[in-house]
Structure 1
Amino acid sequence: MILTLLADATAALHFDSLGLSPVALDLGFFQIKWYSLAYIAGIIVGWWYLLKLLDKPGAPMARRHADDLIFYATIGIIAGGRIAYILFYKPEILADPIQILKLWEGGMSFHGGVIGVSLAIVYLARKNGLNWLRIHDYVACCVPFGLFFGRLANFVNGELWGRATDVPWAIVFPRGGDVARHPSQLYEAGVEGVLLFAVLWFLFWRTDARYQPGKLVGTFLLIYGAGRFIIEHFRQPDEGLEHLWWGLSMGQTLCVPMILGGLYLIATAKRRRVRVEPVAGDQSVA
């Protein structure tokens, strides 16, 4: 089996031949990396799209709330993503606290980022007397942008590659050994970015889902959780976290509560439907 994979690697596409570099701009004394730009682009485009969603009748918050939310959510993404990554994937970093601050080297957990953003939303909602679940619905529609850009950055960095395979589109990644692998970063970009955005776009703009608190964020959790759970079969898990004693990888384990939570929110969304009074404007929506 090993010999077969090595043979396949000689015929597979080599990552180095793509001419990609983790560095977007190198000024000698300062470098701008695609990984950083991906986060910035995700936040900016997500902010722009959130304002478009808030223009529709029955919005759960005003523009001024959205501006504050972007600030809180950015902190939540960075802090939550980094802390969860260290706790679940690289606890040995705790032995050298300086490593915790080296965000430019990568190492962020989406699951932790979700928790961080959720805490930011709850804080904003309680501070301003808003409906935190409806805000979650609107924010969930914007998250796929960040996921898409982030997975593309993972691919450009040649990191988080997939398992060994002999599929025609397999790629040999420099840090993955002389073995052809699934470009699982692109699989995730397609599912977590394109597919998830398309479904949420349809539900928001073509149905009354936004008036059923929890339905949109529940759909987000379900699709992301199920998609990531499946893609984990093609993605190479972190060393030592591939087969935990209960039979799942760490990535799959963290997706289970997302799937269950998503199913619950979707199943109970209709009973939470009430008359929606918009925060901005004067049009009520039954």
Structure 2
Amino acid sequence: MLSLLAATAASAEPIQWAELGLRPYLFDIGGFQLRYYSLAYLLGILLGYWHLSKMVKAPGSPMAQRHADDLFFYCTLGVILGGRLGYAAFYKPELFTGFTAGEFVSWDLLRLWDGGMSFHGGVIGVLVAISWVALRGGLNWLRVCDYISVNVPLAYMLGRIANFINGELYGRPVEGDIAWAMVFPGGGDVARHPSQLYQAGLEGLLLGILLIALFWKTRARYRPGLLVGLFTIGMGIGRFVSEFFREPDAHLAYVVAETGLSRGQWLSLPMIAVGVIVMIYAFTRQPIGKAKPAAPQSA
């Protein structure tokens, strides 16, 4: 695939996604398909759990391994339930009332394999999960959010790569000559931005490396809210920028036509605002473990 990409990029013709030899599943056994999107969710969650387990062993952790185990379970539920409910609420409300006749699972809201998960809904679901675990364990909620946020971008990157492998959520038509422009099967004979890869690189890899480096190489974890604030700003800005290159969902194209911004961009603006507020909070408080100056004693 890499050789085909390189050869095509050197020519004036756009890359044909259909010629990359990609398919949406890893293998098919007796009608059962292990799809890359499901595999991305699984690997992302396992990778996050593995790294979180290493983080809680480092000095200054606000929780123990048993709390990391609980977070693994409840955050997984939060991602799935929040992602699906968020997609229905923000993007496709008809899923709440739609039914597919003749199917074993007929309620469209429960038919996750038909597609439709919202990142913003998943964030809300994870926040609910963190709140539950923190309340039960008597943990500092904001510091737990810091630790979880470090592990989200790389899992997000895997999901966007899976979107690319599926040939879905492709970008808008390109303007001018771009060597990496692609023609996707569902997008007509138009060269488009591979916006899935933009998001994987910007909101996934780049942000993930930054947060991991700050956690392990600096004392950022001792400033409650710093890491999650930076994560929220980074994801919000990254999503806002990448949406300029991503093709809006067909049933939400009117939002762009009427407002100039996509639904994802409107949802990203409050994320950025919240992230800024949390960052201000983090920098105006004493770091954890730093002694306050002693009060002067009266004569």
Q: TM-score by structure 1 length? A: 0.90
Q: In the TM superposition, what is the alpha-carbon distance from 1:95 to its structure 2 partner? A: 2.6
Residue aligned with 1:24, SS = strand
Q: How many angstroms apart in 1 are the aligned matches of 2:252 and 2:56?
A: 41
Q: In the TM superposition, what is the alpha-carbon distance from 1:19 to its structure 2 partner? A: 0.4
Q: In the TM superposition, what is the alpha-carbon distance from 1:144 to its structure 2 partner? A: 1.2
Q: In the TM superposition, what is the alpha-carbon distance from 1:160 to its structure 2 partner? A: 0.3
Residue 3 of structure 1 is matched in structure 2 by none
Residue 148 of structure 2 is matched in structure 1 by 139
* Aligned residues of 1:161 and 1:184 also touching (Cα < 8 A): yes
Residue 12 of structure 1, aligned match among 11, 14, 18: 14
Q: In the TM superposition, what is the alpha-carbon distance from 1:239 to its structure 2 partner? A: 1.8
Q: In the TM superposition, what is the alpha-carbon distance from 1:155 to its structure 2 partner? A: 0.2
Residue aligned with 2:244, SS = coil
Q: How many angstroms apart in 2 are the aligned matches of 1:41 and 1:103?
A: 18
Residue 116 of structure 1 is matched in structure 2 by 125
Residue 282 of structure 2, aligned match among 248, 259, 269: 269
1:148 aligns with 2:152: no
Residue 194 of structure 1 is matched in structure 2 by 205
Structure with bigger gyration radius: 2
Residue 203 of structure 1 is matched in structure 2 by 214
After superposition, residues 190-269 of structure 1 pair within 5 angstroms as 190-242=201-253, 243=256, 245-269=258-282
* Aligned residues of 1:38 and 1:153 also touching (Cα < 8 A): yes
- Offset from partner CA, 1:129-158 (integer Å, 9 cap, x none): 100100000000000121011000000010
Residue 103 of structure 1 is matched in structure 2 by 112
Q: Which moved more, 1:232-241 or 1:35-44?
A: 232-241
| Structure 2 spans left out of the alignment, 5+ residues | 1-11, 100-106, 292-299
Q: In the TM superposition, what is the alpha-carbon distance from 1:244 to its structure 2 partner? A: 5.9
Structure 1 residue identity aligned to 2:286:
R
Residue 184 of structure 2, aligned match among 173, 195, 204: 173
Q: How many angstroms apart in 1 are the aligned matches of 2:258 and 2:214?
A: 38
* Aligned residues of 1:211 and 1:273 also touching (Cα < 8 A): no
Q: In the TM superposition, what is the alpha-carbon distance from 1:274 to its structure 2 partner? A: 5.0
Residue 69 of structure 2 is matched in structure 1 by 67
Residue aligned with 1:26, SS = strand
Q: In the TM superposition, what is the alpha-carbon distance from 1:13 to its structure 2 partner? A: 1.0
Aligned pairs, how many?
269
* Aligned residues of 1:244 and 1:250 also touching (Cα < 8 A): no
Q: How many angstroms apart in 2 are the aligned matches of 1:269 and 1:93?
A: 39
Residue 168 of structure 2, aligned match among 152, 156, 159: 159
Q: How many angstroms apart in 1 are the aligned matches of 2:287 and 2:13?
A: 59
Residue aligned with 2:252, SS = coil
Residue aligned with 1:269, SS = helix
* Aligned residues of 2:224 and 2:288 also touching (Cα < 8 A): no
1:183 aligns with 2:201: no
Q: Which moved more, 1:106-115 or 1:246-255?
A: 246-255
Q: Which has the higher contact order (CA 8 A, sep 6+)?
A: 1
Q: CA RMSD in A?
A: 1.5
1:82 aligns with 2:95: no
Q: Which moved more, 1:265-274 or 1:63-72?
A: 265-274
Residue aligned with 2:250, SS = coil
* Aligned residues of 2:160 and 2:197 also touching (Cα < 8 A): yes
Q: Which moved more, 1:267-276 or 1:81-90?
A: 267-276
Structure 1 residue identity aligned to 2:239:
R
Q: Which moved more, 1:37-46 or 1:206-215?
A: 206-215
Q: In the TM superposition, what is the alpha-carbon distance from 1:92 to its structure 2 partner? A: 2.0
Q: In the TM superposition, what is the alpha-carbon distance from 1:240 to its structure 2 partner? A: 4.1
Question: What percentage of residue pairs aligned between the two structures are identical?
Answer: 54
